[in-house]
Chain A
Amino acid sequence: MITLDKDPPHVEELKRLLPGPQAYRAYISKWLVNVNDACIDCGICAEVCPFGVHERKEGHLHLSAPKSQRCIGEACETEDFYCVKHCPVDAITIEKNPLAEVLGNPRWTNELIMATWVMSETGKAPERGLEYRIGRAGGGFDLLDFEFPPSKRRFDPDSLTGIDTSLPLNRRGKGAKIEIPIPWYGGGMSFGSVSLQIMLARAIAATAWNTFTSTGEGGYPEELVPYKDHVITQVATGMFGVREETVQRARLVEIKYAQGAKPGLGGHLLGDKNTPVVAKMRETVAGTSLFSPFPFHSVYSVEDHRKHVDWIRAMNPTALVSVKVSTPTDVDMVAVGCYYAGVNIVHLDGGYGGTGAAPDISKKNIAMPIEYAVPKVHKFLEKEGIRDEVLLMASGGIRTAWDAAKAIALGADGVILGTAELIAVGCVLCGNCESGRGCPWGITTTDPELSQLIPPEWGAQRISNMYRAWQLQLREVLARLNLDSVRDLRGRTDLLVRIPDPSSVSGKVAKW
């Protein structure tokens, strides 16, 4: 049982509290600032640097170790405040950090990861030197951009509070009216795939922002109950830990058919991570690998799906129902079927989403990426005349606020986040989530010792800061497009352009 320092919901405070802390002493930065022994501690560098790389703590004789993560690197060389130029003894050198070369991949480039860390530390996008909008995967979101009308106005993100980013979750005539102030909520991550601390961090952040996070299919730990208004109960094929009361306490219930990272395969929890606590929650035997079945054994047609929705409604008549499906070629038909079964939210999980464990072959090769599925479903629902009665949420590879904006422009109402939130709490995307003790950073682990590495309040602060940065960026995009509300962006493919592959232009080939 985890006891928090403060009683929930201490959320208002959380939303304001900035900046969020950085966890570890060393920080993987793009640039590496070295100060060698020649330094005479004159402090000129600390005076000139506007970013706070160099610093002399009050009363200290020596300068503090340089904070490389704040350095803008090459872009600084032409500036007046370039510390290297000012150093009287040439003690400072700035070089590319070799570590950054090892970090990341074409989808989540090292700069996107580092930029997400900056956002979760400062609550706003990095000012200079880090690409925080687009990756280098050579397709999909990375080859889409907005075409902004020419404007001389400079947009101060803080002055754009008038731009509406809220999203109603229920578009049907009946049922509870729930509105979230930002067009995204957290995706399902089960207890077992991630630690309880991470679930709490996400739930606290969701509560602070009046949005949602999801339990995933690993049961509903008691510690989450104080945040129950902002926690989605997921009912997935394994039915792990699903009970009547967990369905009854949720405002939003999610039925998971498939997951983007492993479409058609069902959940995966390898035996090492199935500790006694996890096994108890899932009502299984500790140490066994848990492969959720696929598909639902009780559903053999879209019509059968209605029965599931009715079960949920029978247990909890006021709950909104979301259905999470993957993206096969007939995903448009699936979406329509879901609508007629009475769901409020159709959640498309595209092929490039995150996971705690999945066969590598399924991550790339099964089902289409979200970029293709969203316009397909959006157009089909429009043709059927039911687009405005159902909410279309996209997930599976939404890395940045710009991805979110592009997904919305392609036809989604909002997006659902997973990996981005974990990066906010320090994930380096090493991919070692699946076995052994799990994540070395204490994120996707069930190890009682490792999970202590993430204090829930700290994690919540980081996620909350990232949400803030994303909201600012989304507002900026909307402002530059002369839109007042994120709802007006939906399906506006006319605002998008396909850009040439930057890797082919600059001669840089995305490295795998």
Chain B
Amino acid sequence: MTFKRYHIPIAPAPSRRPWTRVNVHRDLSRCLNCGTCIDSCLYGVHDRRDADTRFMEEPEDHLCRVCFRCVAECPVNALSLEPNVEFTEAGNGLFKPEVLRTIANEAEGGRIPVTGACYRGPFGGQGFDGMWTDMSEIVRPTRDGIHGREYISTSVDVGARPTFLDFRRGGPWTPPRELPVPFVLDVANPGAPPAGILASVVKAAKALDTYAIVPARSWPAVGADLQGHVIVRLSEGETTGFEKTAGVEATYRHGGADLVGLRRSLPHSIVSLRVPVTAYDRDAVDMALEAGVDLIHYTADWKDVDSIDGVNTYIATLRDLHGYLVDRAVRDTITVLASGPIAAAEHVPKTIILGADLVGVDLALYGVMECVPPNHALHLGRFPEDFPLSDVPWGTQRVVNLMNAWRDQLLEILGAMGMREVRRLRGDMGRAIFQDEAEREAFADIKVLAPAKEVVAR
């Protein structure tokens, strides 16, 4: 067998509605049409009118990179920059405007976002913001190799990895499926996606060699060649007819879902138990273990993680889930897929450190598909049914690009830590620096001035 390096095929898929951070305002009553701004701008915001070159064209705001050079050079102070309200008001909760813009950039080119100057955000915060990953000063593999000569594995396994011979299942043992990336795409959260989105995401799952989770209602629309990359999220009733899919997913309810029956009817498929954060309890984990399912899909709806408290709960619950599995000494017999508040590349390693094996990408797809205001997927919590996406290759490429950008950034983080595979990162909390712990240690002897406020409650 020849070795084939995993490679994600990226290609440009330009945004159709590029984010505009600022409005460049030209005061026509002052402008001399002198053209100084054309020379001073490095990014092509200013130009003369094609029809009549005596006059200046309206500035192309979306090209502006907020350097203020034209403002400063203008001899008559005719130019100014104003925050673009459509941008600053876009998104909410986890999906801050900058996060949406980053997603769009990543989906556009598939590359790691690189900028100059220092970090520009808040110091720390709650949720994922209160976490830093560790690094090592003297490590292998080397940085010059991580995107080239040397190989850091981002493969993860879905399914049980038995630690000893186990005859309880009665049939031949199905080895875990190896996914080359720790990402699963999820468009079943909630409702059924519009046709264009469904086709794009399922095709992207095939291109990435991973899975897409689709709702049962959308399942008939999936082509035969793509069925092997689909996990069907069941709603009420359906239990049969999914032999050709990669697997099925039942949603956890107290006393509900005949997992054992499902497992028995599909012995060689992936059987997943979807556990929303709001429904999580340890009974769900017990039920999953009892039935011998392959995957616990721990997830959150949009509204669950819209507030920072929601994200904190999400994180605490994920830690509980992982901790419970470790305590029961069954961690390797089941895979944990975490989805929901995964809005940026940095959330991938952090979620894995907190105990997930792999992450599900769901809400970020709104940004990828530009289903943001005025289409407002972020407010609906799902793709609107009439969302227009006819260019499926474009949509597929956007998803593929995003996943490549996120994988490459995961490689950067792993490389900085000196790790060679992402499997070993799972639940390795020692690889993270938590703000509350670090602050307690560093500032222990510094008096807190009233009004006392817990700086971080995670």
List the interface of chain A (C-beta within 8 A of B): 24-28, 98-99, 101-103, 105-108, 137-140, 142-145, 147, 257-258, 261, 263-266, 268, 270, 291-297, 299-302, 304-305, 325-326, 328-329, 334, 351-369, 371-376, 397, 410, 419, 427-437, 439-441, 444, 493-494, 496-501, 504, 510-512
Give the distance in Å from the alpha carbon of A103 to the alpha carbon of B213 in the complex: 42
Q: Interface segment, B63-71, B225-233, B295-303?
A: B63-71
The 12 listed contacts between A and B (C-beta, < 8 Å) are: A101-B82, A107-B120, A107-B121, A147-B449, A293-B142, A326-B135, A329-B430, A358-B115, A431-B117, A433-B116, A441-B69, A498-B443
How far is the CB of A110 from the nearest CB of chain B, in Å? Answer: 11
Q: Are A428 and B447 in contact (CB under 8 A)?
A: no
The contact of A28 among B71, B122, B416, by CB within 8 Å, is B71
Q: Are A264 and B135 in contact (CB under 8 A)?
A: yes
How far is the CB of A188 from the nearest CB of chain B, in Å? Answer: 14
Q: Are A361 and B142 in contact (CB under 8 A)?
A: no
List the interface of chain B (C-beta within 8 A of A): 22, 40-42, 65-69, 71-75, 77, 80-83, 88, 96-98, 102, 112-125, 131-140, 142-144, 344-346, 349-350, 409, 412-413, 415-418, 430, 433, 435, 438-439, 441-443, 445-453, 455
The contact of B102 among A140, A360, A434, by CB within 8 Å, is A360
> Which of B40, B98, B117, B446: most chain A CB closer than 10 A?
B117
B135 neighbours in A (Cβ, 8 Å): 258, 263-264, 326, 328, 366-367
The contact of B138 among A138, A300, A373, by CB within 8 Å, is A300
Q: Are B446 and A493 in contact (CB under 8 A)?
A: yes
CB nearest to A359 among chain B residues: B112
The contact of B446 among A142, A144, A329, A433, by CB within 8 Å, is A144
How far is the CB of A200 from the nearest CB of chain B, in Å? Answer: 20
Q: Are B132 and A366 in contact (CB under 8 A)?
A: yes
Evaluate whether A444 and B122 lie within 8 angstroms (CB atoms) in the complex, with A102-B81, A376-B441, A497-B449 already known: no
B450 neighbours in A (Cβ, 8 Å): 500
> Which of B346, B412, B418, B452: most chain A CB closer than 10 A?
B412
Q: Are B416 and A440 in contact (CB under 8 A)?
A: no
Q: Are B442 and A107 in contact (CB under 8 A)?
A: no
How far is the CB of B309 from the nearest CB of chain A, in Å? Answer: 15
Q: Are A351 and B132 in contact (CB under 8 A)?
A: yes
Q: Are A363 and B83 in contact (CB under 8 A)?
A: no
Q: Are B122 and A352 in contact (CB under 8 A)?
A: no
How far is the CB of A90 from the nearest CB of chain B, in Å? Answer: 20
A512 neighbours in B (Cβ, 8 Å): 96-98, 120-122
Evaluate whether A494 and B445 lie within 8 angstroms (CB atoms) in the complex, with A263-B135, A264-B136, A440-B67 already known: yes
How far is the CB of A257 from the nearest CB of chain B, in Å? Answer: 5
Secondary structure call for the A interface: loop
Q: Are A25 and B449 in contact (CB under 8 A)?
A: no
A326 neighbours in B (Cβ, 8 Å): 135, 137
Q: Are B118 and A375 in contact (CB under 8 A)?
A: no
Give the distance in Å from the alpha carbon of A300 to the alpha carbon of B139 in the complex: 7
The contact of A264 among B71, B121, B139, by CB within 8 Å, is B139
Q: Are B137 and A261 in contact (CB under 8 A)?
A: no
CB nearest to A301 among chain B residues: B138
CB nearest to A23 among chain B residues: B72
Q: Are A358 and B449 in contact (CB under 8 A)?
A: no
How far is the CB of B92 from the nearest CB of chain A, in Å? Answer: 13
Given contacts A299-B138, A428-B66, 17 further A-B contacts (CB under 8 A): A98-B80, A264-B418, A291-B143, A293-B144, A294-B139, A328-B136, A334-B137, A351-B119, A352-B123, A355-B116, A364-B346, A369-B132, A429-B117, A433-B117, A436-B42, A440-B42, A501-B455
Q: Are B442 and A434 in contact (CB under 8 A)?
A: no
The contact of B120 among A108, A268, A294, by CB within 8 Å, is A108
B112 neighbours in A (Cβ, 8 Å): 359-361
Q: Are A352 and B114 in contact (CB under 8 A)?
A: no
Q: Are B442 and A362 in contact (CB under 8 A)?
A: no
B42 neighbours in A (Cβ, 8 Å): 432, 436-437, 440
The contact of B114 among A263, A268, A437, by CB within 8 Å, is A268
How far is the CB of A165 from the nearest CB of chain B, in Å? Answer: 23
How far is the CB of B24 from the nearest CB of chain A, in Å? Answer: 10
Q: Are A26 and B71 in contact (CB under 8 A)?
A: yes
The contact of A372 among B116, B438, B449, by CB within 8 Å, is B438
A99 neighbours in B (Cβ, 8 Å): 68, 71, 80-81
The contact of B75 among A25, A329, A499, by CB within 8 Å, is A25
Give the distance in Å from the alpha carbon of A357 to the alpha carbon of B111 in the complex: 14
CB nearest to A103 among chain B residues: B68
CB nearest to A135 among chain B residues: B123
> Which of A352, A369, A375: most chain B CB closer than 10 A?
A369
Q: Which 8 pairs of residues, A with B, have the shortest CB-CB distance?
A: A433-B116, A264-B416, A139-B123, A294-B143, A264-B135, A105-B120, A363-B119, A137-B123
The contact of A147 among B138, B416, B447, by CB within 8 Å, is B447
Q: Are B120 and A431 in contact (CB under 8 A)?
A: yes
The contact of A500 among B143, B430, B443, B449, by CB within 8 Å, is B449
Q: Are A357 and B80 in contact (CB under 8 A)?
A: no
How far is the CB of B209 from the nearest CB of chain A, in Å? Answer: 24
CB nearest to B409 among chain A residues: A361
B430 neighbours in A (Cβ, 8 Å): 329
Q: Are B68 and A367 in contact (CB under 8 A)?
A: no
Give the distance in Å from the alpha carbon of A193 to the alpha carbon of B120 in the complex: 19
Q: Are B133 and A375 in contact (CB under 8 A)?
A: no
Q: Are B123 and A295 in contact (CB under 8 A)?
A: no
Q: Are B117 and A28 in contact (CB under 8 A)?
A: no
Give the distance in Å from the alpha carbon of A361 to the alpha carbon of B114 in the complex: 8
A352 neighbours in B (Cβ, 8 Å): 118-119, 123
A369 neighbours in B (Cβ, 8 Å): 123-124, 132
How far is the CB of B87 from the nearest CB of chain A, in Å? Answer: 11
Give the distance in Å from the alpha carbon of A365 to the alpha carbon of B412 in the complex: 11
A108 neighbours in B (Cβ, 8 Å): 118, 120
The contact of A105 among B72, B121, B139, B442, by CB within 8 Å, is B121
Q: Are B442 and A375 in contact (CB under 8 A)?
A: yes
How far is the CB of A111 from the nearest CB of chain B, in Å? Answer: 15
Q: Are B143 and A265 in contact (CB under 8 A)?
A: yes
B418 neighbours in A (Cβ, 8 Å): 264
Evaluate whether A364 and B117 lie within 8 angstroms (CB atoms) in the complex, with A26-B73, A257-B138, A265-B412 already known: no
Q: Are B74 and A26 in contact (CB under 8 A)?
A: yes
Evaluate whether A107 and B123 lie within 8 angstroms (CB atoms) in the complex, with A295-B139, A361-B345, A365-B413 already known: yes
Q: Are B81 and A368 in contact (CB under 8 A)?
A: no
Q: Are B416 and A498 in contact (CB under 8 A)?
A: no
Give the distance in Å from the alpha carbon of A206 to the alpha carbon of B326 in the complex: 56
Give the distance in Å from the alpha carbon of A474 to the alpha carbon of B144 in the complex: 42
B121 neighbours in A (Cβ, 8 Å): 105-107, 137, 364, 512
Give the distance in Å from the alpha carbon of A334 to the alpha carbon of B73 in the complex: 48
CB nearest to A138 among chain B residues: B122
Give the distance in Å from the alpha carbon of A434 to the alpha carbon of B72 in the complex: 22
The contact of B143 among A264, A329, A364, by CB within 8 Å, is A264
Give the distance in Å from the alpha carbon of A102 to the alpha carbon of B442 in the complex: 34
Q: Are A419 and B115 in contact (CB under 8 A)?
A: no
Q: Are A357 and B119 in contact (CB under 8 A)?
A: no
B140 neighbours in A (Cβ, 8 Å): 300
Evaluate whether A102 and B138 lie within 8 angstroms (CB atoms) in the complex, with A107-B121, A352-B119, A367-B132 already known: no
Evaluate whether A355 and B117 lie within 8 angstroms (CB atoms) in the complex, with A362-B416, A376-B442 already known: yes
Give the distance in Å from the alpha carbon of A300 to the alpha carbon of B40 in the complex: 48
Q: Are B133 and A365 in contact (CB under 8 A)?
A: yes
The contact of A359 among B72, B344, B412, B449, by CB within 8 Å, is B412
Q: Are A265 and B416 in contact (CB under 8 A)?
A: yes
Q: Are B82 and A98 in contact (CB under 8 A)?
A: yes
Evaluate whether A263 and B442 lie within 8 angstroms (CB atoms) in the complex, with A329-B433, A441-B67 already known: no
B451 neighbours in A (Cβ, 8 Å): 500
CB nearest to A509 among chain B residues: B122
CB nearest to B131 among chain A residues: A365
Q: Are A139 and B114 in contact (CB under 8 A)?
A: no
